[in-house]
Amino acid sequence: MTHRIARRAALGLAGTVLAAPALRAQSNTIRIIVPFAAGGSTDAVARLVSPGLTQRLGQTVIVENRSGAAGSIGTDLVAKARPDGLTWLLTFDSHSVMPVLLPSLPFDLTRDLDPVMLIGGAPYVIATRSDKPYRNLADVVEAAKARPDEVSYGSTGNGTIGHLTMVLLQSRTGIRMPHLPYRGGGLAVNDAVAGHIEMMIGSAALVAPHIAGGTLRAVAQFGPARLAGLAQVQTAEEAGFQGLTAEAWWGVFAPHGMPGAMVTRMNAALRETLSEARTRQQMQETQQARLVLSDPAALRTFLDGEVAKWSRVVRENQIRPD
C-alpha cells in the first residue's frame, strides 16, 4: 500500500511538473481586449497588429472580443484587470462619448485607464447614392432648407460620432434632417445604396469600398485634410465650417497603475509594428487611416479634447443612446 501511495504521489508530482510549463505559457499570454464584436474596424486593427506584437514582445498576443453596452463591458474588464502587462484595451471613438451617454459606468476613463498610444484616425464621410442630386455640403444644406424634415440621413446609432457630427451641422446651419439610427454600419450602407435614405454618415473605412465601386458618392469629409482616396471631395472646413471635424480613431489603453516601463515597451512595439511598410499600407487602404502613433501623453490630451467636445454636443442636444 505504501508503494502504491508513493507511486501515485510521484505520478501526481510528474503531472504537476508537466502542467507547469503550460500554466506558465498561459499566464504569459498577452490579451488585447476589443470591446466590440468581431468584424468591425477595431477588431481588424487589433488582429492586424497582434502578430507583430507577438514577435517584438516575445509573448503570445491574442485578441479577445468582449462586446456589449456600447463598448463599456470590455472596457470595464480592462479597467479592473491587474496592471501586470498582460491585459490591454484597443478601442474606438465611442470611447470619448461613453461617459456622457452612460453616466452610471462602473469605471472612470481617466482614473481607471492609462493611455498608451493614439494609433490614428479616419474621417467621417457623408455619402449618398450616386444618382442623388447632392454633390457637396452646400447641396445638402440647400436641400434641407428647401425641404425641412425631409432630407434624411442614416448613422450607426444615436450618440455615435457620426450622428453627433450631423447634429453639429444642423445647429450651425439651422436645418432639420430626420435621423435614422442603425445598429450597424452595413445596414446603413445597404439602405443608402438602395435609396431608402437620402444619405448616410460613416467612417471612410466603411464607405470607401462602395464609393470605389460606384454605388455611393462622397459628398463631404470631416477630417483635418483631404484623404488621398477622396482627393476631389471637400472637407467641411474647406466648405466654410471651421472647426467642424470628426474622425473615427483607434487608441490603446492599459489598466491604471501599469508600470511606466511596460507602457513604454508596448508603445514601442506598436510603433514598430505599425511602421512596417506592409502594415502601414493595410491600415491606409483598408481603414483609410491617417496614422499618428502618438506617445501616451498625446493620447491623454487628445482624449480629453474629444470628451469635452462631444459631451457638450450630447448635453446641449439632449442626445440619448439607442
DSSP-assigned states of every residue in 27-79: HT-EEEEESS-TTSHHHHHHHHHHHHHHHHHTS-EEEEE---GGGHHHHHHHH
Residues 79 and 133 in one domain: no
Which one has a higher pLDDT value, 40 or 294? 294
Residues 82 and 225 in one domain: no
Q: What share of the chain is helix, strand, coil (3-state, %, to 5)?
A: 50, 20, 30
In a domain, 77, yes or no: yes
pLDDT digits (tens, 9 = 90+) for 35-77: 998 888 899 999 999 999 999 999 999 999 999 888 999 999 9
Residues 154 and 67 in one domain: no
Least confident of 48-52, 69-73, 149-153, 193-197: 69-73
Mean pLDDT along residues 217-243: 95
For position 4, what pLDDT does the model report?
A: 43
Q: 287: pLDDT confidence band, cut at 50, 70 and 90?
A: very high
For position 321, what pLDDT does the model report?
A: 80
Q: Are 49 and 287 in contact (CB under 8 A)?
A: no
In a domain, 241, yes or no: no
Beta bridge partners of 203: 124
CATH number at residue 197: 3.40.190.10
For position 9, what pLDDT does the model report?
A: 40
- Euclidean distance between CA atoms 51 and 60, whole angstroms: 8
Mark which of 203, 230, 257 sits at the end of a domain. 230
CATH number at residue 295: 3.40.190.150
Mean pLDDT along residues 25-36: 85
Residues 14 and 116 in one domain: yes
For position 251, what pLDDT does the model report?
A: 98
Task: Say if residue 146's pLDDT is above 50.
Answer: yes
Residues 136 and 207 in one domain: yes
For position 16, what pLDDT does the model report?
A: 35
Domain count, the chain: 2
In a domain, 239, yes or no: no
Q: Return the percentage of the chain with pLDDT > 70, whole number.
A: 91
In a domain, 237, yes or no: no
Q: What is the dihedral of CA 195, 155, 145, 242, to 10 degrees?
A: -130
Beta bridge partners of 117: 252
In a domain, 321, yes or no: no
CA-based diameter of the chain, in Å? 96
For position 1, what pLDDT does the model report?
A: 39
Residues 20 and 113 in one domain: yes
Domain range for residue 299? 9-122+248-316
The separation between CA 170 and the C-alpha centre of its own chain, rounded to angstroms, equals 24
Mean pLDDT along residues 315-321: 91
Mark which of 230, 258, 277 sits at the end of a domain. 230
pTM, rounded to two decimals: 0.87
Residues 13 and 118 in one domain: yes
Half-sphere exposure of 236 (CA within 13 A, CB side): 25
Helix (H, G, I), strand (E, B) or coil at 114: strand
For position 274, what pLDDT does the model report?
A: 98
